[in-house]
Amino acid sequence: MDDLVQLIEPMIPAMRRYARALLRDQAVADDLVQDCLERVIAQWHKRRDAGSTRSWVFAILHNLAMNVLRQTRARGHHLPLDEIDEAVLTTRATQEDGLRYGELLRALDTLPKEQSSVLLLVSVEGLSYAETAKVLDVPIGTVMSRLSRGREKLLNLIQGDVAAPARPALRRVK
């Protein structure tokens, strides 16, 4: 047992350095070194006297580290619950977002093109009123008026206050 202590104890700092370099986590690396030392003590009678004790110990450490890395990759990184932000644990359901998006697109299709184009340029593309007026070649007051009416109509369509108007039937012009 004395030869075990004399051979293994000087290797502990090097084992910790190697484990920390592999795992990049001090606490996990220290646990890994502890597990390795337990395994070395338990398997001491199985080592080969002719072989290098250092390489035998580092082989055990390396194999344990690879197991930890595989488990981490398979399970994901472990975080204590106390350290996790609650916002990370909760996610909104995406189905409702998809339904709202489809509803918005359908409502946008029912708006007159003048209103929908102003809404898209200002709200989606982020253009200013002046830039939108220049793009559409209309006065800035017209942009503001179309935007206001378009937003109100879109809101009413989405909330269901006003039934979406049916597209006008084609008329025959003579």
Q: Is the pLDDT of residue 28 over 50?
A: yes
Give all domains of the chain, ordered by start, each with its CATH number.
1-79 (1.10.1740.10), 93-163 (1.10.10.10)
Q: Given this model, what pLDDT does residue 65 score?
A: 94
pTM for the model stands at 0.46
**130-168, pLDDT tens digit by residue?**
989 998 989 999 999 999 999 999 999 888 754 444 455
Please state, in angstroms and rounded to a whole number, the distance separating the CA atoms of residues 104 and 100: 6
Q: What is the pLDDT of residues 129-140, one digit of tens each?
A: 998 999 898 999
pLDDT tens-digit readout, 99-121: 888 888 888 889 998 898 899 89
Contacts of residue 26, Cβ cutoff 8 Å, sequence gap at least 6: 20
Average of pLDDT values for 32-55?
87
CA 26/CA 75 separation, integer angstroms: 19
Q: What is the pLDDT of residue 87?
A: 76
For residue 74, pLDDT over 50 is answered with yes
- Give dist(CA 172, CA 39) in Å, integer: 91
